[in-house]
Structure 1
């Protein structure tokens, strides 16, 4: 057991109203979990945190695929760390794991009814476990292959294409022989898409007319649209969907901080004459696909066919500000934070 007696935590202090703010969180020094672990449980010392836009939705008191984060509870989020006490032979002391351990130094994991922690193989860095081999990449794989039914020769559009999910969606589409167009914010990220990630073209939504560019780049329409943004970007994709096209709804970051909610697409009837389909999905419903996805990702990364970026911030006190980087576009790759002193 550790010599420390304090478990630093960042709690949800209030439900965000519109744009999430640092003031929506409060730091607390709690007592370190000292009680004997129940059978099957483990105590994890968190070393690195991962941040995802979906966490913003978990802060609202609204029905979703996971229950809302309770006021006064540690903020739910991905983390990777070392097992320092174990009542579970599958996770021996000293082994490395990742899971939804939250914004805190120490977490009791593998409780009955909770998702099982994921063992991190020897030789895999924490930034890889939470980044390229984490849930974002697995989401891209399932969304493109299983939900989007990617085919060689497809014209694929990916929004939020420079993000952790989108950048992998771009690359696995390209590897399958698709023509890929990415949408991102700013010239730098658009340059990454073409030069580093292999997209055939990139659209800078901040400085270009997305609909006009799509008309020029995809005159025959989009066969598969992998959308992480929603709002007017989703409308643009619907406007240019090809006959029998597929739209995969992965996220809607454009509306996560909108107090009134982003209006739904006004052109849904376009799907009727195009005989197009649109479907949302959550990775949790497809965990049986994780082994195949992970094997493919490891092969592609090992051979240099997939590239990735990580943006690592530092320090426990910087956790809320690091989360906010996701919504200003400040992050350059998968947003991570290394907890200080470990």
Structure 2
């Protein structure tokens, strides 16, 4: 039986937010497999801020998606057909750097079979024990280097990465303050995720709230947002603070140069370590990170939320949820049903 694919193709570079016409959903047959390849059916597609970066032609950590190519993205899939030893139909796999499509044909060596953990839903492999979990674990543990009693501030704290960072920091014995964009998110952070405090930046004076919740200053700033919020945090960093720079989501849709940070000189005055990173910088630590995250998850020490959008056709319009603060936890698109 011939499989008919659906794939999002990048047709033009977005200006500001992604809009109609930037991507096109096209249909076509799935080609026959060659030796060493597998045919995958996407179950869940990961939506991440980096998707927006890949659509642009700005300077970035890997080549942007070319006009006319399938939109790049990661996800979880089931093997539909295999000509690769070690993978069989029905196996659940991580697609690695895949694409926004219903089906994809890939070399089997580029696909990782997921372990079976009783009681752990598939979406956890895109959150706590997936790439977002590894981003949080490696960025905090290897750049932030948390110590018991230290104060950690996390921006975009109710997102996929931020929510994990705060909980890992709590496990390490830190005081954790999250910054998020709604009362609902702040309540989830304190009552479910166990943060010590949460600041609603849309309602509160962030600087005053930081003074209240971080009376002894800030030792680690896990930065996901940039902009005015980052400036307020920088002003309150302690001597020898660490600043893992994971993202600058506030500027990804900007069409003009973004000013600031205005308080950048404080990094010098406070002897701060600032390090930007991409999760793949720490691939040698993934096994350690997944083992730690899986253990904490099974022990009930980690809570996670998943924001599920139904239907591949809704992927482009759902991406804006990351930039408007509508999502709680990991944002994914359910593309097809699991076997």
Query: After TM superposition, is the score higher than 0.5?
Result: yes
Higher mean C-alpha displacement, 222-231 vs 79-88 = 79-88
Deviation digits for residues 30-79 of structure 1, max 9, x if unmatched?
A: 22122x3243x322111211111111111111232221011111111111
Alpha carbons 2:42, 2:336 under 8 Å: kept: no
5 Å-filtered alignment, 1:200-239, equals 200-239=196-235
5 Å-filtered alignment, 1:160-309, equals 160-309=156-305
Gapped regions of structure 1 (runs ≥ 5): none
Tell me how many residue pairs correspond in the alignment: 335
**Secondary structure of 1:171's match?**
helix
The one of 111, 120, 127 aligned to 2:114: 120
Query: Whole-Å Cα distance in 1 between the matches of residues 67 and 173 of structure 2?
Result: 47
Query: Whole-Å Cα distance in 1 between the matches of residues 99 and 320 of structure 2?
Result: 16
Query: Whole-Å Cα distance in 2 between the matches of residues 139 and 242 of structure 1?
Result: 24
Deviation digits for residues 248-285 of structure 1, max 9, x if unmatched?
A: 10001100111114223111111122111111111111
Query: Whole-Å Cα distance in 1 between the matches of residues 224 and 55 of structure 2?
Result: 19
Alpha carbons 1:37, 1:86 under 8 Å: kept: no
The one of 49, 56, 62 aligned to 1:60: 56
Cα drift, residue 225 of structure 1: 0.4
Paired position in structure 1 for 2:77: 81
Paired position in structure 2 for 1:109: 106
Deviation digits for residues 221-255 of structure 1, max 9, x if unmatched?
A: 10000010011121111111001111110001100
Paired position in structure 1 for 2:92: 96
Q: Structure 1-normalised TM-score?
A: 0.93
Cα drift, residue 111 of structure 1: 7.2
Deviation digits for residues 86-115 of structure 1, max 9, x if unmatched?
A: 233233332111122211111122378xxx
CA RMSD, aligned part only? 1.6
Alpha carbons 2:9, 2:71 under 8 Å: kept: yes
Paired position in structure 2 for 1:338: 334
Gapped regions of structure 2 (runs ≥ 5): none
Paired position in structure 1 for 2:19: 21
Query: Whole-Å Cα distance in 1 between the matches of residues 22 and 336 of structure 2?
Result: 22
Q: Does 1:42 align with 2:46?
A: no
Cα drift, residue 150 of structure 1: 1.1
Alpha carbons 1:247, 1:278 under 8 Å: kept: yes
Cα drift, residue 153 of structure 1: 1.1
Query: Whole-Å Cα distance in 2 between the matches of residues 292 and 340 of structure 1?
Result: 31
Alpha carbons 1:42, 1:87 under 8 Å: kept: yes
Higher mean C-alpha displacement, 94-103 vs 285-294 = 94-103
Higher mean C-alpha displacement, 134-143 vs 75-84 = 75-84
Query: Whole-Å Cα distance in 1 between the matches of residues 121 and 326 of structure 2?
Result: 23
Alpha carbons 1:21, 1:324 under 8 Å: kept: no
Query: Whole-Å Cα distance in 1 between the matches of residues 24 and 275 of structure 2?
Result: 37
Higher mean C-alpha displacement, 83-92 vs 305-314 = 83-92
Q: Structure 2-normalised TM-score?
A: 0.94
Query: Whole-Å Cα distance in 2 between the matches of residues 307 and 210 of structure 1?
Result: 26
